[in-house]
Structure 1
């Protein structure tokens, strides 16, 4: 006679195998239904690990990539996103055009501001002159907003979706109420437009996780690259590019009634750098994705957007965080675009802002390990 423990083990094994068999026969749509849903809203300046990490994650469904201007212009960013998805075989993910310009801020207004208060270290698509103190990174490739230069990864053959980013976001959030994360790693113009068009947008989403803002970053790494990036925040610790490109949009987003907000400011990025070794470790695979990233990626940059993606994928990477109320200075003075923040006990009376989990530090070795693992995986096939 079989002993009770043996019978139990055999029964559990049978149930487990049956579960695997049933899962294998489920349609791809049913399996995808259990995945974490995300819309990536970004100023994609090339094949970036930040977006690719989400696509590479087996338990994530990227509903779409919405494009905004910022580091480079929207039309160029669209081309980068389309070509990246072509190379990795994921053109099923829609690339959706968003805002070409900020809500109020302009290049001319930025020039006037600089005449009053001094030069900005970085102006993204508005960088119409070289850095006055030099740089070890590539010099700016300035061009008009409707020009798409030749891309290092090749020009795309596919087309962007025939929809506006804000409308796409609204549609998907209502299609999957309470399930969609907005992962915003560029200026927040598209998200602000979605909120303005649909007052229920923010509360219908699951959460927003964003890279933006700056509190009090300090240089951590001893490299020359780290020293050069410190030239900005060492004198202007509350200034960060994503907020500064479109301060009014950021203010709209942070006043909205989100269920959850996670902020990844510049601060934790100072402990990270895309070194030649890390890039090599991330691209050891022979997959089209790894080989493309190895070919076109410039090293020496902090991993700003990758951190935002990583802490969304694995919140256990966060080693230090605070609960703060966060806003933006939108007065056209010396602090225009600066990050404002308060703990609850010190927040101004009548402040309209949602409480925010602010990431201060991350487990960098674990973060790099996650990047290396995901970037070397075969790219998951599209659901059929």
Structure 2
């Protein structure tokens, strides 16, 4: 994945804080900045400047040097020593144009100097350049954070692949060992039984790898859906059939004759993931799957009697590897199953979410247009059905 760093425009308006103890100077500089379409705040000293920055981050500070109590150099040092404001451009304004003061300003961390009497055009150009530098720094910082998140996802995926593939591969090894023993003993029934088990495990591995590839394609919108006209009951049955065998909880399906134009295979896989997720947390209690007809939209609901999903996790759980944490929101093994479901819903122009059902349990739902449409104007995740 490429991380793009957007370059700021030449005349990007910004937020400017003007700090000067002389009101006439403050107003003159403030008026100059407002003429350049900047958002301006004024402060008459260090304390009011810091107060003005509470909940409001300027792009540049124009700071007078000669002020009572805390002068501009002292305030500049304070700002540059704080990691939260260290990257904030500070332009010192002074009536003294001597080398010693400039050296002191540089030592304090000042980014530029403006000598009084100020030239409005020069002030505007220096502020413009400072804002552009700040915006570029912010863009690079965001890109760096994106790269760190991508590295974390890469590490999580590597961990997931090793963890989830190791067990099936070990099972295949045991089956092959049993097949060899059966061959040596001439026991064809044992060979057939273990070969069947091997085939089942390799099918599971193939599906896991397919899910990883399909998620990547769905994320890149490089996997077009293949909609056809189907009865929702048939699609639900396809999905439930994938997980019914070996299920420790009963699965009941409630669906009337509802015809949709969906990608049958993709939606059935998504339903299978949601039902499998419900089975893991139902504690042996029934899992219910139903279809709700909302006219232009059709909603698939999967209810379980598990511990539910905390409200603060109801969006994160659908993100890639969102289940890798601990606790009651760890709803699927690979961290890709629910993420896959989200993209299937989006590919059909729909949405997905989870809500709590009383007294305990969770309801996972996918709501999609009866006729599959482009997801351009639809949101993907929510906490309650629309």
Question: Does the pair score TM above 0.5?
Answer: no
In the superposition, the TM-score normalised over structure 1's length comes to: 0.24
In the superposition, the TM-score normalised over structure 2's length comes to: 0.24
| Higher normalized contact order (CA 8 Å, seq sep 6+, divided by chain length) | 1
Larger CA Rg, structure 1 vs 2 = 2
